[in-house]
Amino acid sequence: MALTEEANSGVRLELIDASRLHIHEHVQPDLVDQTREEIRREGCLRKPILVADRDLVILDGHHRFQALVQLGCRRIPAYVVDYRSDVVEVDVWPDAVIREVTKDEVIRRGLSGDPFPPKTSRHTVLVPLLDRPIDLRDLV
């Protein structure tokens, strides 16, 4: 279900069934717990996750995704982008164990069930992605 189209950006906001999404990184359990409690306390998700359009691989927001699933959410707010375009860039976090990541490797890991360690890939979107608070009751 498309919620909005960001004007001329190639990015759209959708609610996606959680079962259709693929992770490409593991998560840090303590950070998932912290994120879950923050979302529960606020009663909404402020920042949608980022997802590759064709493959539905999560690019950014693995901890938010896991927190929402733990809260019983079946639908996940996501900014969906054309990952093969120049709108999204990928690099690694400074402390990452892996020193280089490509877009092809992110997709391969997401679709093969062979995730990177937590906080490996760092995606940058070259258009502004606004916070879009969505009530938790709309996600179950």
Spot the catalytic one: 5, 6, 14, 25: 25
As a whole number of angstroms, the distance between CA 17 and CA 12 comes to 15
Q: Quote the crossing angle between the two packed helices 29-42 and 62-70, to the nearest 10°.
A: 60
Listed in sequence order, the residues at least 6 apart from 116 whose beta carbon sits closer than 8 Å to its beta carbon are 24, 25, 26, 98, 101, 109
Query: Is 25 known to be catalytic?
Result: yes
The torsion angles phi and psi of 28, rounded to 5 degrees, stand at -95, 115
Q: Which residues are catalytic?
A: 25
